[in-house]
Structure 1
Amino acid sequence: MNDGTTGGTAAGTRDASAPIRVVVVDDQPLIRAGFAMVLAAQSDIEVVGEAENGADALTLLAGTEADVVIMDIRMPVMDGVEATAQLGRLRGAPRVLVLTTFDTDEDAFAALQAGASGFLLKNTPPEEVVTAIRVVAAGESVVAPRVTRQLLDRFAGKLAPSPRHDERLDLLTAREQDVLGLIAEGLSNSEIAARLFIAEATVKTHFGKILTKLDLRDRVQAVIFAYDAGLVSPAG
C-alpha cells in the first residue's frame, strides 16, 4: 500500500506496544460490520467505536481516544472530507484513512488536502486494509507520492491560483529543500538518494527534519505543502 516510499515518520506519542485503536465511520452498517470483523481478528488492532456519519464521528471522538479513523467520504449529515478537516484541528487528532471508489477522483484529493494520511479504495483486500492501518498508525502515509502528485496536477485549480513563496520554506536548509522538491515530484527515497548522490538513510534523516520543521505529519502533507508553497508546479 505504501509502495515502499513513505520513509520518514512524523513525531507521535502512541505506545507502540499497545493495540492500535480504530474508529470506523461509514453510513452502511454492512461495511462497518465487515471492517469490524476483519480488524477483530488482529491481535494488535482494537475497534473502539463506529459512527454512521462525520458528525457522529466527531461526537464519538470527543470522548474516545483513537489512533486511526477509517472514514467514508460520501455520507449524509457531514461527509468525510469535512469531518477529516475538523478532526485535524484537534490536538492529538487521530490519523485518517478515507474510503473512496477511484484513486484519482476529486473526493480523494479533497480528503488529502483536508489532512487525511491517505486513502483506500473500497475494494481493497482485507489484508491490505490491515497493513494500511499499521502504516498510518506508525506515522506514515499510504498513498504513493506519484499518486499524490497526479492528484495535485489534476486538481491544481482547487489550490491557490498562483503558488506563492511560503516563509516556512526558509526554515529548511538548501539540501532539505532539494529533498522536499524531489519528494513532491514523486521520487522514492532510493531514487532521491541516487539523484543527490547521498545515502538513503540520509534522505530519511532529511525528511524527518522537514516534517519537524514544517509541522507536517507525513509524506502526503509534505507533497501538498511543496505544491502549495510554490516549490513545485503542476505538470502540463
Structure 2
Amino acid sequence: MSSTVHVFVVSPDTRSERRFELHTSVGQLKNKLELFTGIPVHNQQILLLNNEEDANPVNVLNDDSRPLGFYSVRDWQVLKVVDTNPSVSFTGQLTDTSQVEKFEISEEAYAQRQDTVLAYKQRHKIGRFAEKDQPEQHASPEISIPVGSRCEVETTEEGFHKRGTVRFVGLTKFGTGEGIWVGIEYDEPIGKNDGSVQGERYFTCKPNYGVFVRPDRVRVGDYPVEEINFDDDEEI
C-alpha cells in the first residue's frame, strides 16, 4: 500500500496539486500549506472534500497530532484550506478590487496640496518644472536590473530560495511615495498576484506567481530553476 497520497489543495487565492506522506501530522501539514496558501497556521481550518463542488466536507482535519492516514485521505480528494481570520492575512483581497473605495480629488484641490508628486516636482524643479537652461533631473535612480534576467529575492527563511525571472522594472501606481518596483515571475506559486495590482497590469503570469519588491531585495545572476519540495523529506 502506498504511503503517499495525491490531493488537490484549494484556498481563497490558490489551487494546486500536491503529494503528501500519509504519516504527516495535521500540524506538519499546516506548516507546509502556509508556504503556498499564505494563510497562517493558527488561522487554518482544513476540510476534506471528495471534489471542489461538494457542499459538505467528508471530514474536518481538526486534530494537529493526528496523521493524514487517520482521516482516510484518498488520492485526488480535495483539501480545502479555510482562512478563519482573513483580516490578518488578507486572503482573497489582493485580487478583488471591487470593494476598494476610489479616492477622487479635483485638479484644483490636488494642485493646492503640498504632499503630492506634483508639489515635489515643483519644489525640486523636476520634469516640466525644470529651469530651461538646465538638463531635466530624474527623480528615480538608475536601476541595473534588466527585464528578462534570472534573479533571487531576499528571504529570511534559511534554505528557502525565491527564484524567478524579472518581468518589470519601473514606477507603479501602488505603494506609498515614489520609487522603483521590480516585478518578478516566480518559478513556483509563492507570489501574490498575476502581474497586476489594483486593476493595473504591469506584466502577465499565472495567478500567485507574480510579486513586486524593492530593487534592494533582488539579486540578479545565473540562478537555475530550483523546484520547491513541499513534501515530507523523511524516508521509511
Larger radius of gyration: 2
Structure richer in strand, relative to its length:
2
| TM-score strictly above 0.5 | no
Structure richer in helix, relative to its length:
1
**Which one has more relative contact order, counting CA pairs under 8 Å at least 6 apart?**
1
State the TM-score bracket (shorter-chain normalisation). Answer: under 0.3
